[in-house]
Structure 1
Amino acid sequence: MKSLRILAISLLAAPTLAMAQADGPTAQQRRGTEANEPTGIGAPAARDAEAADRALNGWWRDAGPTRDQRLAWFRQARFGIFVHWGAYSVLGGQWKGQPNPGYSEHIMRVARIPRQTYKDEVAAKFRPDAYDARAWTRMMKEAGAGYVILTAKHHDGFALWPSKASDYNIAQVSGFKRDPLAELVTAARADGLKVGFYYSHAFDWEDPDAPGNDWDYDNPAGDKKLHGGADWWNTYPQFLTNTDRYIDRKVIPQLNELISRYHPDILWFDTPGKLPFFQQARIVEAVRKADPNVVINGRAARSKDLNLGDYLDTADRPAELRPTAGDWEAIPTTNESYGYNALDHSHKSVEHFVRLIAKASAKGGNILLNVGPRGDGVIDAPDATILAGVGRWMSVNGESIRGTTRTPLDRQAWGDSTVKGDRLYLHVFDWPKDGSLRVGGLLSPPKRAYVLATKAPVAVRHVGGADYDLTLPAQAPDAADSVIVVETDGPVRGEAGRLLETRYGSNQLLAFDAKAEGDGFSYGDGKTARFYVDGLERPGNRLVWSVRATQAAPVRVRLRYSTPDKTPPGRAVVRYGATTLTAPLVATNGEKDLREVDLGLLPLTAGDLADLSLTLEGADKPVHVFDLRLEP
């Protein structure tokens, strides 16, 4: 029981009623007023505690012994495809000729489109006649994915299947006679893919009893922050009767439909904080009762101290990945939107996603790469190109991803590594110009090594301690990520500590990878310009990297940082052995304005592990620290 709770903390059957019609703010406020009765509601905090106890000492505890069995396929896959597709796809990120900033699937909220208008002018036009589920799954299979997850109901409340629990669905609103979910399940099974569905349980802009829509209804949890904003249930618990009604009438019945009709391998939830924890937990308990074997992601039910999912989720659109204990998943998307946006041409490179998949696997996690098909059901050309590019790499190097486990080696100057039994896969992002690759921290003696793409043998030479030099071909097999296989004598073992090498250019020491000594640290979510650590302004706090070098050499130290406001950020101080480097910092133009400061030359000494630390002096406000770069 204790081990289950530690895992959970690491991040972190109902009657069907007739569907309520969208009847506007006055009636909704009346229901809220009618719910302004203390009888049977109970304090939310007490109900949260009761729900946690019920889970920890009941249904969630009972599901613990079969968790490894549930997650076996998830760990084997390491790479899946997310599909954001729904009524919003028809709009392509525009409403009435105006572009929608941000995620296109949020256009109903951002443009504040009335429910009836959205139903008549958007959802009613969602008739994806060109949808070919088998074409999708073949593309995903060829990309090297092991599973696919489709948005069955996003925040707009629109169901992509002929739901009996709610008439707000594709069959009754748009008249589309096919079942997209059934077709996807059939196609996925035919192509050997696991399949699941995203279901927005805590955020529903269609339903008058659900949180989120504050432009049609007097509802909490929307952008207006009515009734207490994020913690509305503490300041206005009267609405709990409404959300209970929404859960009983729509959420649980629809989830039961998804499970009984389609038998998904995984259910993917989102934005749980729109509901109090005890209501989140009630939904997950109902799912676990309906199907003990379905995998549940980490955004279903979570509080400060407890996560009731089978694994953890990082934030959206990661650029860098923070080390996370246990099983986890990151969800990048091809551009900056999840739903189809015809105006967003910010697609990342194939190299970006190949390296992200390798980095996630090295840290024991999965990548769920999102694509947003068009409203007609066709996967857009730029997305298809990215999937094909990833697929070319996976067709050659897939064994270095699938079924691998967290590497015991630290990140290397040239790239990263993954592990499978007695095989160490070296993911070389920066191919050495001199043909010599130094691998640091490998305790298991190598038996042989070869290039995965060509099977060409690679000579291995022990250079002392846990370090080895590999002699590589002159040309890299793949500019994005060339994989070298090292077969070892017994399971791969490694030692802690970052080996600094000047032969491969810059040594990047991410703040995410540092040991944070002190208290009060906070972390960015990993997006571009958000892979930072805060907290060094607190006296005594420091970030520490355990490093070593095999030869003495001077390196130039550069710090990347940003400041949320114009408060003077003080001075940066780097310490290594007897050397101290300092440099003043200047305020930046907000947190997205990354600046680089040169702290000077640091003389590396050859030998054992030593602490390289970063502190701030004279800083009164948080400073976002991203990384140190050590350059020859």
Structure 2
Amino acid sequence: MNRLLRKSLLATALLVATATVHAQWTGPKAKSTELKEIKYGPLSPANRDDEAMVAFRNYGLGQFIHWGLYAIPGNEWEGVSARGGAAASEWIRAWRGPDTPKDWVKTYDNLYKQFNPKDFDAKRWAKQAKEMGAKYLIFTTKHHDGFAMWPTQYSDYNISKSPYKKDIVKEVVDAYTAEGIDVYLYFSVMEWNNPDYMGKEPKTAAEKKKFDRFLNYTRNQLLELMTHYPQMKGFWFDGTWDQSWIKSYDFTYKLEQELREKHPGLIIGSRFRNDEYGKRHFDSNGQMLGDYEQGWERKLPGDITWLEGRDWDCVMTIPPNGWGYMKDWSGIYTKTTDDLLDMLVYSASLSGNFVLNFGPDGQGNMHPEEDRLAKEIGDWMKVNGEAIYGARHAGMTNSKLGYFTKKEDNLYLTIFNRPINNIVRISVPKTATEVPVTATLLANGQVLEVKHADLGIDLDKNTYYDVVVPHTFQTDRAFVIKMKVDSPKGKAEKLMDAKM
């Protein structure tokens, strides 16, 4: 990642994560100084090594799709956009304030009567995702508005009551599975449309009875999704921060047990539940509550030490905070192909996955810019995906030229900052048992010269290997050098040091 972009991303991460609840993503996680007795801790072992989790670790690139009734307003209503006072696209039902249209909630809750995406073709989406190089999909089955994109039997507020009528979740799951892309189901616990939902902790007998109905309803919908779409690989949970859910830790603990028993290999991120002390994502002793760290939403770790060996993925928007469809992208910075490739490779260099969000419109079409970015990322991945899929943190000294990844005895360096002299200098500890011995360009298979460069800098613990990139090789994107590593052929010469 170039230094300016890296600095900008880290600054953004710090600003976004100032709230105490998100403090664990502003830097290395604080260690617990005192161990607590915890009954509602992790149900899943750390660093699972089963087939499903190994597949998750190897994905590299994923796609997120936010789609629902909020695609109809498209981030604005009656000329007022989120930049002018409305709530963000997928949150627009929560719009409050002087600019809110009259009877807005009623208007929004009746948008399902207009939802008839005549251009929607799940097979077209799945083909595009495969061409982009995505290995998994996270799809919104139900967002905070409560509208179910499948014909759930537990609520009338679902796709079967719309003019479209057909089961969108089934169409998506079937199409992506047919393309060899694993499907994860996004599910919001928070549900604005449901009269039994409440944000505060239920205190009275009536409130407890009411919220118990909601909890049972939530359980039924989750079991229904697993039954209807057995191909699904996991859940991506959202809307779990309200006190009503946090205080339901006994229920959520048992529910996670049940979900895992009914779907062996199920993958659940860290934001599903909390312990009895209210700690989310990580329990009060710092143990992760889930199979992977789910907090990297529009933010990235500063370095590998922040992760402490945990599995993780980063979910990222193209506009600054645009998850659902936004009609108007003008006047705001939208991430470029180069920005996104930088974040993708950086994530892979820290043994994580990168998931790019798409927000289709009310007719089922991606934004034209999303189509373009998907094509350009796909073109790059077809050539360079070897450095991403199944790749891990390489344990190399950081390079100002780009990012290292490693797979077996292959070392990859993705160059974002090409040196003016075309000499790619790689720093290796003098004690290293593996060093680069051969190098090729992934772009064309050309063999590159590798030279040992012992600079002889006093007190330098490193030695250097230079890979020479031909000046005739030209590209307008980042490119990958693939190297084989082996034991060094000789030791650096020991010369007499000057007396000081």
TM-score, normalised on structure 1? 0.62
Q: Distance in 1 between matches of 2:219 and 2:229?
A: 15
Q: Distance in 2 between matches of 1:240 and 1:480?
A: 57
Query: 1:11–1:158: structure 2 CA closer, same or farther, 3 Å change rule?
Result: farther
**Equivalent residue number for residue 345 of structure 2:** 358
**Equivalent residue number for residue 222 of structure 2:** 255
What is the SS of the residue equivalent to 1:161?
coil
Residue 397 of structure 2 is aligned to residue 410 of structure 1:
yes
CA drift at 1:287? 2.0
Residue 119 of structure 2 is aligned to residue 127 of structure 1:
no
**Equivalent residue number for residue 18 of structure 1:** none
Q: Distance in 1 between matches of 2:422 and 2:80?
A: 53
Q: Distance in 1 between matches of 2:261 and 2:88?
A: 33
Q: Distance in 1 between matches of 2:441 and 2:411?
A: 12
Deviations 1:522-551 (A, max 9, x none): xxxxxxxxxxxxxxxxxxxxxxxxxxxxxx
User: What is the one-letter code of the residue matched to 1:487?
Assistant: K
**Equivalent residue number for residue 33 of structure 2:** none
Runs of 4+ in 1 over 4 A off after TM superposition: 63-67, 111-115, 235-241, 319-322
**Equivalent residue number for residue 268 of structure 1:** 236
Residue 170 of structure 2 is aligned to residue 200 of structure 1:
no
Pick the aligned partner of 2:157 from 158, 161, 168: 168
Tell me if the contact between 1:85 and 1:340 (Cα under 8 Å) persists in the aligned partners: yes
**Equivalent residue number for residue 140 of structure 1:** 129
**Equivalent residue number for residue 339 of structure 1:** 324
CA drift at 1:103? 2.8
What is the SS of the residue equivalent to 1:145?
coil
Q: Distance in 2 between matches of 1:478 and 1:286?
A: 52
Deviations 1:536-578 (A, max 9, x none): xxxxxxxxxxxxxxxxxxxxxxxxxxxxxxxxxxxxxxxxxxx
**Equivalent residue number for residue 367 of structure 1:** 354
Tell me if the contact between 2:296 and 2:313 (Cα under 8 Å) persists in the aligned partners: no
CA drift at 1:351? 0.3
Q: Distance in 1 between matches of 2:451 and 2:303?
A: 32
**Equivalent residue number for residue 298 of structure 2:** 317
Q: Distance in 2 between matches of 1:490 and 1:385?
A: 44
**Equivalent residue number for residue 564 of structure 1:** none
| Deviating more after overlay: 424-433 vs 345-354 | 345-354
Tell me if the contact between 1:334 and 1:386 (Cα under 8 Å) persists in the aligned partners: no
| Higher strand proportion | 1
Query: 1:477–1:11: structure 2 CA closer, same or farther, 3 Å change rule?
Result: farther
**Equivalent residue number for residue 384 of structure 2:** 397
Tell me if the contact between 2:424 and 2:467 (Cα under 8 Å) persists in the aligned partners: yes
Tell me if the contact between 2:271 and 2:295 (Cα under 8 Å) persists in the aligned partners: no
Query: 1:11–1:374: structure 2 CA closer, same or farther, 3 Å change rule?
Result: farther
**Equivalent residue number for residue 479 of structure 1:** 476
Q: Distance in 1 between matches of 2:272 and 2:29?
A: 13
Residue 73 of structure 2 is aligned to residue 108 of structure 1:
no
Residue 413 of structure 2 is aligned to residue 455 of structure 1:
no
| Deviating more after overlay: 287-296 vs 136-145 | 287-296
CA drift at 1:239? 4.5
**Equivalent residue number for residue 469 of structure 1:** 466
Tell me if the contact between 2:269 and 2:290 (Cα under 8 Å) persists in the aligned partners: yes
CA drift at 1:74? 1.1
Residue 273 of structure 2 is aligned to residue 287 of structure 1:
no
Deviations 1:343-379 (A, max 9, x none): 2343210001111110000001111110100011111
CA drift at 1:411? 2.1
Tell me if the contact between 2:144 and 2:188 (Cα under 8 Å) persists in the aligned partners: yes
Query: 1:429–1:93: structure 2 CA closer, same or farther, 3 Å change rule?
Result: same
**Equivalent residue number for residue 16 of structure 2:** none
Residue 405 of structure 2 is aligned to residue 435 of structure 1:
no
CA drift at 1:95? 2.1
Q: Distance in 2 between matches of 1:390 and 1:99?
A: 29
Residue 139 of structure 2 is aligned to residue 186 of structure 1:
no
CA drift at 1:69? 2.6
Tell me if the contact between 1:354 and 1:480 (Cα under 8 Å) persists in the aligned partners: no
User: What is the one-letter code of the residue matched to 2:477?
Assistant: A
CA drift at 1:314? 3.0
CA drift at 1:115? 4.5
User: Whose radius of gyration is greater, 1 or 2?
Assistant: 1
User: What is the one-letter code of the residue matched to 1:333?
Assistant: T
Deviations 1:252-305 (A, max 9, x none): 111111101112112111232222160443442332232122211222124252
User: What is the one-letter code of the residue matched to 1:135?
Assistant: R
What is the SS of the residue equivalent to 1:458?
strand
**Equivalent residue number for residue 328 of structure 1:** 312
Q: Distance in 2 between matches of 1:425 and 1:142?
A: 22
Q: Distance in 2 between matches of 1:65 and 1:405?
A: 14
CA drift at 1:70? 2.3
Q: Distance in 1 between matches of 2:181 and 2:323?
A: 21
What is the SS of the residue equivalent to 2:439?
strand
Tell me if the contact between 1:360 and 1:367 (Cα under 8 Å) persists in the aligned partners: yes
Q: Distance in 1 between matches of 2:95 and 2:179?
A: 37
Q: Distance in 2 between matches of 1:236 and 1:354?
A: 52
User: What is the one-letter code of the residue matched to 1:317?
Assistant: R
Q: Distance in 2 between matches of 1:206 and 1:321?
A: 39
| CA RMSD across the alignment | 2.6
Residue 271 of structure 2 is aligned to residue 299 of structure 1:
yes
User: What is the one-letter code of the residue matched to 1:482?
Assistant: F
Q: Distance in 1 between matches of 2:487 and 2:147?
A: 53
Q: Distance in 1 between matches of 2:143 and 2:487?
A: 47
TM-score, normalised on structure 2? 0.78
Once the two structures are superposed, the pairs formed by residues 41-80 of structure 1 within 5 Å of their partners are 52-56=38-42, 60=43, 68-80=50-62
Q: Distance in 2 between matches of 1:68 and 1:466?
A: 39
Residue 72 of structure 2 is aligned to residue 90 of structure 1:
yes
What is the SS of the residue equivalent to 1:440?
strand
User: What is the one-letter code of the residue matched to 2:160?
Assistant: A
User: What is the one-letter code of the residue matched to 2:416?
Assistant: F
Tell me if the contact between 2:452 and 2:465 (Cα under 8 Å) persists in the aligned partners: yes
Q: Distance in 1 between matches of 2:205 and 2:427?
A: 57
Identity %: 30
Q: Distance in 1 between matches of 2:133 and 2:293?
A: 22
Query: 1:410–1:462: structure 2 CA closer, same or farther, 3 Å change rule?
Result: same
**Equivalent residue number for residue 18 of structure 2:** none
What is the SS of the residue equivalent to 1:53?
coil
Number of aligned residue pairs: 418
Once the two structures are superposed, the pairs formed by residues 519-558 of structure 1 within 5 Å of their partners are none
User: What is the one-letter code of the residue matched to 1:338?
Assistant: W
